[in-house]
Amino acid sequence: MKAETQKSYTQVPILFGLFLLILSPTLFSDGMFMDGLYYAVISRNMAEGVGTFWSPRFSETFNSVFNGHPPLQLGLQALLFYIFGDSIFVERFYSLFTGLVTLLLIRKIWVFETKSQTDAWLPAVSWLMLPLVAWAYSNNMLENTMTVFVLFAILFSLQSIERMRFMNISLAAISLIFAFLTKGFTGLFPFGVFFFVWLIKKEITFKRFVLDTALMFLIFGASVLLLFGISKSAGNYILNYIDIQVVDSIETAKTVGSRFAILGAFLGQIIPHFAVLAVIFIIRKIRRKSLQFSKETFKKFLFWFLIGLSGTLPMMISLKQRDFYLITTLPMYALAFAYIFKPYISEIRLSLKMKKITVFLGIFILAVSIGLSFYFSGKVGRDKVQISDIKTICEQVPEGEIISICPELRTNWSMYGYLQRYGKINAEVSDKNRILIGENPCYSSYTEILSGNFRYKIYEKNTNNPINP
């Protein structure tokens, strides 16, 4: 079946405008979630020659070799820092770009499946409804990049069923290599796409499901072995990552009390979609119409929902769970619910006049979102007091200096991030260095040098006083 020639040229700017609109209060404002802050620091350092792709470095005193995650996003972001220099807008524009690409890929997958662009905005809006989306793309998460490669892998897998079988399977496998090199095993669930195409859609035989999946595994495995053969550093880094991050997450790390916590987080994400279904139900009840789903609609919903679950359920193997681990699976749930919404949205027919109004509405939304982004740019969105203090410290301490911190600040992880991000300052718990910061005096060999209403006090070592043991 050939795709319809009709194109909705107004959809993309409206979608971009909506995406930027929900991000505008936080995307370009100062302050960032700790993980994204660390990734920006490591990428900036890599761009400036501090650390390498297979040996990323956070600071001299903390995470001197970062093995927490594979380094692909860090390397990609480092390229932007190398080109544009050190600015907090680099990581923010990078996140924005990954979000826009994700938006286009969701739309592309829908068009490929439905062979129509008419309702191609629907799964994209369904994705924007998910609460984590606005948060993730304002905070430079690794999942943002991994989602792009996961969607490419799924798109290529689906395309291989209709055309250029070997080439598309190869591209899907390569996409999964990039997903793995971004954040590890959590990006490999698209290996199950052919299984669900066979099980739910019935579009391929069992034999083809087995052969195509095996081919994808073969290309993936051969490429990884080739990478390790070419670069010993790559092999060592990935093995260290598996030992430090993956094994530890399964055996000892714990952030939740139940393995089912991730399912609770998932249900919290789709509350807006159930709200929309409730509204549709009420409207149809008023019009004396029932809420019915065709077998084909349910099949498409189930297909995408199960692909999403195939990426969510494996997270239950570990008690180290966070809601943002769901980010990579969210487009699948968005596509699933879009198929549920489609029959009822399709009942709405816009007049030619309304379509013209929609064009102007799209331009208006895009203009407002850009204006709001400029308005919030430079403002502090989170950690206001901490950021203010850190910037004051950076004015007093030269770049690259190692400073001491009081023991009560040992686990203040965001402090390490902001010190590096704004001043390239290395921090350690000790009384050996010239400068000390703390919330209260902790070593008698230092004297406060900057007074005021600060959370962090700045102290300088008394050269005549002995160092306390």
- Shared domain for 241 and 301, answered yes or no, is yes
Q: For the packed helices 295-312 and 261-269, what is the interaxial angle rounded to 10 degrees?
A: 140
Q: Which of 13-27, 241-255, 341-355 has the lowest mean pLDDT?
A: 341-355
Give yes or no for a contact between 301 and 339, defined as CB atoms under 8 angstroms apart: yes
Residue 18 maps to a domain: no
Q: In the predicted model, is pLDDT for residue 6 greater than 70?
A: no
Work out the average pLDDT over 320-333: 93
Give yes or no for a contact between 74 and 50, defined as CB atoms under 8 angstroms apart: no
Phi, psi angles (nearest 5°) of residue 426: -95, 135
- Shared domain for 180 and 298, answered yes or no, is yes
Residue with tokens 């203090």: 389
Structural domains of the chain, count: 2
Residue 467 maps to a domain: no
Q: For the packed helices 11-23 and 352-376, what is the interaxial angle rounded to 10 degrees?
A: 30
* 71-85, 434-448, 452-466 — most confident range: 71-85
- Domain boundary among the residues 297, 320, 348 is at 348
Residue 310 maps to a domain: yes
State how far the Cα of 373 lies from the Cα of 463, in Å rounded to an integer.
48
Work out the average pLDDT over 180-199: 95
Segment (H or E) for 304: helix 295-312
Give per-residue pLDDT as tens, 304-313: 999 999 999 9
> For residue 402, what are the domain limits?
384-461
Residue 216 maps to a domain: yes
- Shared domain for 276 and 186, answered yes or no, is yes
- Shared domain for 337 and 392, answered yes or no, is no
- Shared domain for 389 and 311, answered yes or no, is no
- Shared domain for 316 and 219, answered yes or no, is yes
| 225: three-class secondary structure by DSSP | helix
- Shared domain for 408 and 339, answered yes or no, is no
Give yes or no for a contact between 150 and 180, defined as CB atoms under 8 angstroms apart: no
What pLDDT is attached to residue 451? Answer: 66
Confidence of residue 1 (pLDDT cuts 50, 70, 90): very low
- Shared domain for 274 and 175, answered yes or no, is yes
Give per-residue pLDDT as tens, 104-135: 999 999 999 998 888 888 999 999 999 999 99
The DSSP letter of residue 443 is -
What pLDDT is attached to residue 3? Answer: 39
The pTM score is 0.91
Residue 406 maps to a domain: yes
Q: In the predicted model, is pLDDT for residue 469 greater than 50?
A: no
State how far the Cα of 156 lies from the Cα of 188, in Å rounded to an integer.
14
- Domain boundary among the residues 289, 323, 348 is at 348
Residue 5 maps to a domain: no
Interstrand relation of 435-438 and 446-450 (parallel, antiparallel or unpaired): unpaired
What pLDDT is attached to residue 350? Answer: 53
Q: In the predicted model, is pLDDT for residue 208 greater than 60?
A: yes
- Domain boundary among the residues 348, 373, 404 is at 348
Confidence of residue 2 (pLDDT cuts 50, 70, 90): very low
Give per-residue pLDDT as tens, 54-112: 999 999 888 788 888 999 999 999 999 999 999 999 999 999 999 999 999 999 999 99
Residue 468 maps to a domain: no
Work out the average pLDDT over 378-395: 88
State how far the Cα of 205 lies from the Cα of 210, in Å rounded to an integer.
9
Phi, psi angles (nearest 5°) of residue 4: -65, 145
Residue 213 maps to a domain: yes
SS3 per residue for 118-158: CCCHHHHHHHHCCHHHHHHCCCCCHHHHHHHHHHHHHHHHH
The DSSP letter of residue 115 is S
Q: In the predicted model, is pLDDT for residue 438 greater than 50?
A: yes
Q: For the packed helices 206-230 and 142-162, what is the interaxial angle rounded to 10 degrees?
A: 130
- Shared domain for 83 and 213, answered yes or no, is yes
